Amino acid sequence: MMADNKIRVVWKIIVVLTLGAAGFAIAPYVLFDPGQSRVSLNASFSLHYPLLLVHIFASFLALIMGWLQFLPGLRTNRPQVHRRIGRFYLGFVAMGSVTGLVVGMYTSSYIRQMAFLTLVALWLFTGWKGYRAARKKSFEAHGVWMIRNYAITLVAASARIVTPLCLLIYLLLHRGIPFQGVEPILNQVLEVNIWIGLVANIIIAEWMIVNCFNKR
């Protein structure tokens, strides 16, 4: 019972933080104005901004819908709704993955390119494993893989949440170096925040899996 209460608290924290981070991330794109983009657009690739929009909105919808899969009452009392939500969710994951891979390849940083590639591979792999487990009616395995998949979905939010912490750590570690302005520091932090968000999410997901399934 205590483990279940801990899981509920973790989910509530995840939902609150995710909604805030997701709202911040999507805000510059709701008016469909390329000039507001936080991502540097490649002028030679005309589809860069449209694909970026598809990636952002598909990922946002996956992020918003994903946690509904884990509502016990919905799974138990309305399994058809649960399955329908799951199909839509995985559809948005697929859209976000493919467009994210293309958009990621147009970033100037090799480290960020590798981060996008890693996220896409993990996102698609865990989503496929979750889908296949459900088709085989291995529902416990399905739950495990969907927790892992949603942890990857949440990296978009967690990477932004850890950014202030990364900035603070950078400043503490470089106290003896003359201040060069915010932008150079932020550029270095944005090289690692995705990786830190990914590692943190994987650790939390595996902790939840242990507490959700191994103690039944």
Q: What is the DSSP code string of 25-49?
A: HHGGGTT--GGG-SSPP-TT-TTHH
- Take residue 67 and report the two structure tokens written for it: 């946690």
Question: CA 94 from chain center: how many Å?
Answer: 13
In this predicted structure, what is the pLDDT of residue 138? 94
pLDDT of 92 > 80? The answer is yes
Q: Which residue has the tokens 């279940």?
A: 4
Which pLDDT does position 126 carry in this prediction?
Answer: 97
Q: What is the mean pLDDT of the chain?
A: 86
Burial class (CB in 10 A: 0-12, 13-18, 19+), 154: buried
Q: What pLDDT was estimated at residue 89?
A: 96
Q: What is the pLDDT of residue 23?
A: 76
Please report where in the chains the tokens 């996956």 appear, as a residue: 62
pLDDT of residue 108: 79
Instruction: Determine the pLDDT at residue 7.
Output: 61
Q: Which of 67-71, 104-108, 195-199, 209-213 has the highest average model confidence (pLDDT)?
A: 195-199
Choose the weakest-confidence range: 36-45, 93-102, 173-182: 173-182
**Whole-number Cα distances in Å, 33 to 24, 74, 160:** 16, 38, 22
Whether the per-residue pLDDT at 180 is higher than 90: the answer is: no
Contacts for 190 with CB less than 8 Å, ≥ 6 apart: 112, 163
| pLDDT per residue as tens digits for the range 105-161 | 888 789 989 999 999 999 999 999 999 999 999 999 999 999 999 999 999 888 888
Largest CA distance in the chain: 61
More confident residue, 25 or 58: 58
